[in-house]
Structure 1
Amino acid sequence: MELAAIIVVIVVAVGFDYTNGFHDAANAIATSVSTRALTPRAALLMAAVMNLIGAFLGTSVASTVGSGIIDPPTGISGLVVVLSALIGAIVWNLVTWYFGMPSSSSHALIGGLVGAALASAGTVKWSGVLEKVVIPMVVSPIVGFVLAGLVMLALLWIFRRGRPSRLSRGFRHAQTVSAAAMALGHGLQDAQKTMGVIVLALVVGGYHQGFEVPFWVIVVSAGALSAGTYAGGWRIMRTLGRRIIDLDPPRGFAAEATASAVLYTAAFAFAAPISTTQTITSAILGVGATKRLSAVRWGVATNIVVAWVLTIPMAALVGALAFWALHALV
């Protein structure tokens, strides 16, 4: 019974990873596609490959997700908690994807875990949630916004005497590198979240000890995220690439370079599962504000922030409802 339940959880986790890929594909390539630095299909292929590589670069974030957020019971009850959390995350991903809103798959998963744990009267490690989720959730967009603005101002000053047409061509080439770095950072961050959930299920089901990630879990998570990325998230890509601000190649490069730096720092220095969506969106807002404040479509930005705020509680609500429904069936 428990083995069958573990297999179900792993299959659903892979499904979440896939939705994460197509939901967040826009994070890495929207700016490059909107500035015509890359064609959509070439950008998706590049992002899929870099996401695959990024997934093999570390497991510290996976440990945070697997052991630092909740402490579910062992056995079938614990597996129902994990399964409910995944359902909550997947449902919220699909809702926000349908409306083209770049919400956070990471925070949807965290919300699902918290909601399912509360519904089961399980333990939520609030100190871990505060330290590894809430604080980075608030700090990373601010850092992304400010740092991207500063990088853009530096580029404007350094190339102030350059010919616009020549600079545009040069930054289109540079965006190939910055988009690849962004996709690598997304793979580094987001594949690990699925790894953490799968390991949590294995531990709860009694088939694994500790939170070291088995190699097969890395391979499965990397493959699902990469496949989902290649499937593409066109609705969200339009929002990030065109609806917030009309990007040019220098601003696209500055946003991607800044966002990728924040992702690497969070993963390697703090093992914090931050949102790639929030990071790139805030960076886009930061570079847009250097043009002029009115260049940013603040109404669209406000809707995105509302989606950010709602993500954890709404995914938690769906996770809790899923737990009550599944618990009644088990």
Structure 2
Amino acid sequence: MFSKRSLLTAVLGALTVDAAPALVEVSRRQSITALSTAQISTFRPFSYFASTAYCQPSTTVTWSCGANCAANADFIPTASGGDGSSVQFWYVGFSPSQNTVIVAHQGTDTSKIEADATDADAFLETLNTSLFPGVSSSVKAHSGFANEQAKTATAILSAVQSTIKTHSATAVTVVGHSLGAAIALLDGVYLPLHISGVSFKTIGYGLPRVGNQAFADYVDSHLDLSHINNKEDIVPIVPGRFLGYAHPSGEVHIMDNNQWVSCPGQDNTSTECTVGDVPNIFEGDTSDHDGPYDTVTMGC
């Protein structure tokens, strides 16, 4: 539940939409492209992997979680963990059909991620130098999200290294929804600093803003990121940009007609993209947060 201070922060942050020169806006709209049915379908296995992160670790480590697990039936789990409360659920394993290691993080309910993302006590902080060696001190992340990522970082690193070795893997894909997407993005920055010789990709669903402008620029320079936002979901517009937060590039927006479009740049303000479509929290719809993302609704 929002405190008075966090609600004020949410409202101010969400109501603040940076003005863009008309010429820039026209250029952005012209470069927005629709995804084909084939392109959309390539995300579906990863949508299921993100949804599966909501399942109990005892079922993901045995890959016996029902329909979510059945959607990626050939997956080979390595490790899982978390308690769903103080530590979000997570799992690591290998997908032969996608030929990649999968790292997945559990999300949380809409009201909690709103509160976490907009709490005035959750400030931008420099990344932990032990976890993120060599990253500039100008790169800062939401303290709450960074603290969540730190809880599982070393366990996940060990599991990923083991999975790479066991399966001779050459690719790692990190996925998550909501809070899980924020943790996944931080893992997407973290893991390549400790593992070489493989490629990395991050796919997030309903991703809140995670860091400052320097963080967004670092992600754009170093990560292969797609963050998919569904219709009028309000989570991707918090924390507000007036607090110094910025989204990296890579947005894919599912519009009201269910067309998926690629929105170039950071925080694209076109009405075809989330920031323009949902200029404030009062014009958003919390029921859009869980999907569906193509055919996948998040949750176990």
TM, length-normalised to structure 2: 0.25
Larger Rg, first or second structure (1 or 2): 1
Q: Of Structure 1 and Structure 2, which has the larger fraction of its residues in helix?
A: 1
* Greater strand content: 2
Give the TM-score normalised by the residue count of structure 1: 0.24
Structure with the greater relative contact order (CA < 8 A, sep ≥ 6): 1 or 2? 1
